[in-house]
């Protein structure tokens, strides 16, 4: 699949050594958001926060195939309490 004309990477990347910290922070930071993408960088083994994005590409990015848009949309809970 592609998102907003960015092609799939075509492989797997090694996990950074601080992936556990990144995952823990990504569970805490977005509380109260319906959707969020959190950007972290691993630089020299340190976790660096980039940004929280609530609507990537202003909500207008396209998936290919188009059916993937519906699948991704089904993953998003619209109740911020997670119900």
Q: Read off the pLDDT of residues 37-49 as tens digits, 9 standing for 90 and up.
A: 899 999 999 999 9
Residue 33 confidence (pLDDT): 80
pLDDT tens per residue, range 1-13? 666 666 777 788 8
Report the C-alpha gap between 18 and 6 in whole angstroms.
26
- Domain map (residue ranges) of the chain: 2-74
Could you tell me which residues are beta bridge partners of residue 37?
Answer: 53
- Give percent above pLDDT 70 in the chain: 87
Mean local confidence (pLDDT), 6-34: 87
- Tokens of residue 72, six digits: 């991704």
Residue 11 confidence (pLDDT): 84
- Tokens of residue 21, six digits: 């910290």
Full-model pTM:
0.64
């Amino acid at each position: 699949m592609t998102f907003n004309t960015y092609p799939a990477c075509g492989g797997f990347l090694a996990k950074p050594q601080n992936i556990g910290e990144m995952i823990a922070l990504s569970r805490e930071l977005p509380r109260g958001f319906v959707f969020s993408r959190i950007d972290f960088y691993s630089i020299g083994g340190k976790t660096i926060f980039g940004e929280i994005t609530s609507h990537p590409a202003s909500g207008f990015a396209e998936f290919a195939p188009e059916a993937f848009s519906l699948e991704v949309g089904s993953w998003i809970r619209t109740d911020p309490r997670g119900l």
